[in-house]
Structures are given as C-alpha cells and as structure tokens.
Amino acid sequence: MNGRPPAPRVLGRRVPLPLVAWLALVWVTLWGDVSPGNVLGGIAAGAVVSWLLPLPALDPGIRLRPLPLARFLLCFGWDLVISTVRVVFYVFRPGPPPAQLVRVRLRTSSEPLTVLIMTALANVPGSLVVEAYLAERCLMLHVLGIPGDATEKVREDVTALESRVVAAFGTRADREELGTA
Amino acid sequence: MSALDPLAGACLLLGAVLALSAGAGLVKFRHTLERMHAGTKPQVGGVLLVLLAMWLHRPTWANAGPLALVGLSQVITVAVAAYTMARAAYARDSSREDEDDGTSLPSEEPPGSSPES
C-alpha cells in the first residue's frame, strides 16, 4: 500500500475504500449499535456519499500502529493533565505569567505528521504553535508557565513527542528517516 | 451503576473549574498569545472531563461512540482555531511586554476615545 489507497471504479468514478470504511464507522458509532443492518446502512451511505461527492484519491500519508498509538495517547493524556495544572496555577497566581517564544527544529519531513504534531502541541496547555516554517522544518512555539529559560526543556519535549507521533502514525519511510524503524 | 456516580460528579465539577479558570485567564492575561493559552487549553480539558462524566453516568458502548466523536472534534477544531489566531497575533507582533495590544477589557471611557492599536 504505497501511494494511493485502493479505489475501485464505480460507474466511471473512483470510490476510495478507506473513506467509505471511515464513514461507515462514524455511522455505526452514531447509531450506537453494531447490528448487520446498521453496518450495511453505513457502508451504503458512505459509498453513496463518496460517489456523489468525489474527492481526489490521495494518500494521506498516515499509517496507524496500535501499540505506539496507545503509548502516544497515554503520554498525551498525561501531558494534558500536567500542563493544565501548570497553566491554571499561573491563572490564579498574581503577577504576569512567564512566557517566551521558542524555535524548534523538527526532524521529520512529512507534512501530515507535522500537522499531527502541531495538533498535539496546540492541545497541550502552555504551548501554542504561532508559526510553521515547513520548508525549514521549524515550528515557532509560544510557551507559557515554565519559569526561567525553557528553550532546552521545550526542545526535548517536542523531540520526544515527535518520536511518539512518528512511531504511531508514520509510514515506513518516515520511521526510517528518524532511524527508529 | 450508581457506584460510578460520585466519580462522574467529580469529573463534572473538575471540568467546570477548568472552564472557570479559562474565563479567569481571559480576564487576567494581557496579551493575545497568553489569552489563547487560557481560552483554548483549559477549555478542552474541561469539555473532555464533562464528556467523561456523561459517559460514567451511563457507561455503555452506545453512549461511548458519540461522546468520543465529540471529544475528537473538539481536539481538532481547537488546534486549528488556536493556530489561526496565534499566527495572526504573532504576525502583528503582539507579544510585546510593555503595552496592551488592543484586546484589553473595554474601559469606562466613551466610545471613540480608545487608543489606536
């Protein structure tokens, strides 16, 4: 499965199967009941929608791997708790909070993974992506709630996060790029 | 069933406290970028905790699905919104330490006399 996802032609239009599978999953989830009728209905609805509203069949560049994904989600949840506490502490403490801009260099060249990394960073309190330089593989972060010079700590954290994201979502080429294949 | 209800209550209260701290942060912080921290992050934590409380109140697979979808949508949309706002603020160089960047609370002055930002 390199390049394009499987997409058989139906009446002259390609129907990407992963998209149909995803739409069917959402359908069944919203009905809240895995019955044969629901699954068939979801597949039918997904197929009709993807046939009526065609999108270019692109490779999203993301592969899910269960164990690293679980590890990423656990670390992400823990991060969320810790940094929420930190930011709330500075909200209720008098005086201005410590804040600074940090420039971080990424090792991965994959755009989908960079987007995932930015999403993860944006949801962790205390870090905010203010600018992404994809050509130079750099992110500019605004960091709140780390007293003193946070540059080194932030860079370590982002590098660790990047490793976990690439392990959980990266293609083989992405993982080889980081030397963690 | 009812054994989980205290836990659900705790999650609800904690989520409400987080939402309150988000509001307090919006009032307290002085720059757009700092406000983005307060306005986006505790908000997500709060919503996720409230969703968790809803699930603990009725812990079935049928309820878990829609709640998980809501939580996932929150996480994705907050990231996009935060990045868009932060990028605009950063482009305007609003992280200056000394002055307000036009996002302060409205003062008691009559309209029209506000300083240019």
Phi, psi of A23 (to 5 degrees): -65, -40
The alpha-carbon gap from A11 to the nearest alpha carbon of chain B, in Å, equals 32
Q: Is A99 helix (H, G, I), strand (E, B) or coil?
A: strand
Q: Is B62 on the interface with A (CB under 8 A)?
A: yes
For residues B11 and B52, give the distance between their C-alpha atoms in angstroms, rounded to a whole number.
7
B66 touches chain A (CB under 8 A): yes
Write b or e for each residue in A88-109: b if 16 or more Cβ atoms lie within 10 A of its Cβ, otherwise e: bebbeeeeebebeebebebebe
Which secondary structure element, helix H or strand E, spans residue A63, and what is its range? Answer: none
Integer Cα distance of A160 and A174 in angstroms:
15
pLDDT 10s per residue in chain B (117 long)? Answer: 567 889 999 999 999 988 888 888 888 887 777 888 877 777 788 888 999 999 988 888 778 888 888 888 888 888 888 888 888 888 776 445 445 555 555 555 555 554 544
Scanning B94-113 for CB atoms below 8 A from A yields 95
Q: Give me the half-sphere count of Cα atoms (radius 13 Å) on the Cβ side of residue A76.
A: 22
What are the C-alpha distances in Å from B81 to residues B21, B39, B84? 19, 11, 5
| Closest residue on chain A to B85 (Cα) | A130
Which chain B residues are Cβ-neighbours of A125 within 8 angstroms? 37, 41-42, 45
DSSP one-letter string for B65-106:
HHHHHHHHHHHHHHHHHHHHHHHHHHHTT---SSS--S-SPP
pTM of the model: 0.75
**Pairwise CB contact (< 8 Å): B82 & A129:** yes
